[in-house]
Structure 1
Amino acid sequence: MDSETADNIVEIWTDGGCRPNPGPGGWAAILKFRGTMKELSGAEAETTNNRMELTAAAEALTALTRPCTIILHTDSEYLRNGITRWHTGWVRKNWRNAAGDPVKNMDLWKRILDAAAAHKIDWRWVRGHSGNAMNERADELATQAREELLMSIKP
């Protein structure tokens, strides 16, 4: 890839989690474009790890204001597999999984697919908690968002 092409790529790192699962959770996304970084994060009082992972991706993609070439890094195999492999079957089966049950988190999957449609995205899996600085930062932001939520609702 030449430097001109590299200059036009948005890199995104996402993470989400809960403690306990289900329970209070946080999500985060870091967007990097031409050396500028933007950090996004949020939390929900009652959610799941998978919902937070999906929310991070959805929030990152909806934050973009024009069609982009994106490298999106996630430590969630659920997110990566769902978006690169499983969703075509779900759509074909009217949002039913292989067992014929409604797909879990369908609202977020649809949101991600709608937000992704305008972009060219390379979905990359990165091992979580393995020293990848940007993945670690996303984890830190997601945890911080969850903890801030918990502090705000404590009596």
Structure 2
Amino acid sequence: MEEIIIYTDGACANNQEKENTGGYGAVLMYKGKIKEIFGGYKNTTNNRMELMAVIEALKQLKRKDIPIKVYSDSSYVVNGINIWIHDWIKKGKIKKNYDLWMKLYNLKKGFKKIEFFHVKGHNGDRYNEIADRLAVKGSQMYDLLVDEKNLD
């Protein structure tokens, strides 16, 4: 059966500090072809970069009718989109990263079949390791990084 497989990861150096750099990375696979994407921001958080990895990966997809499997080592992302998001929206209680959760939620609704799975990070999974390296690469593009606080 045809399907798109996506591995995502986020990274943030000095995550709790006032000044930091974060990055996201993703590996997209379809019919034996592999595409890698990455990017980054200044003054962000690890959770935001985990969400950005999935959002940016899904934005790459032109077809909405092919089944998609997304693998992330972030329990925050996987549990958030599989379980918590529905109650958050119903109760109006998305306190953190509201903008990114809504982007991901709306992107997800546009696909015919999309599933999210948790994979243990830094455990030798080839594509998770590649996504991790891409996220770190994104966070290290110092001169190109945009301050996330200056977006929108």
TM-score range, shorter chain: 0.7 to 0.9
Alignment gaps of 5+ in structure 1: 97-101
Distance in 2, matches of 1:61 and 1:28, equals 12
Distance in 1, matches of 2:10 and 2:138, equals 10
- Give the number of the structure with larger relative contact order, counting CA–CA contacts within 8 Å between residues 6 or more apart: 2
Q: What SS does the aligned partner of 1:47 have?
A: coil
Deviations 1:48-95 (A, max 9, x none): 00000000000111111121211100000000010001000011012x
Q: What amino acid maps onto 1:138 in structure 2?
A: A
Tell me what 1:79 maps to.
77
Tell me what 2:13 maps to.
19
Tell me what 1:28 maps to.
25
Among 101, 104, 120, the alignment partner of 2:96 is 104
Question: Percent of counterpart pairs with the same letter?
Answer: 39
RMSD: 1.3
Distance in 2, matches of 1:152 and 1:52, equals 16
Give the Å deviation of 1:151.
Answer: 5.3
Larger Rg: 1
The total of aligned residue pairs comes to 140
Normalised by the size of structure 1, how large is the TM-score?
0.86
Tell me what 1:41 maps to.
38
Alignment gaps of 5+ in structure 2: 146-152
Among 107, 123, 137, the alignment partner of 1:144 is 137
Among 119, 133, 138, the alignment partner of 1:126 is 119
Distance in 1, matches of 2:97 and 2:55, equals 12
Normalised by the size of structure 2, how large is the TM-score?
0.88
The ranges of structure 1 where at least 4 consecutive aligned residues each deviate by more than 2 angstroms after the TM superposition are 150-153
Tell me what 1:115 maps to.
107
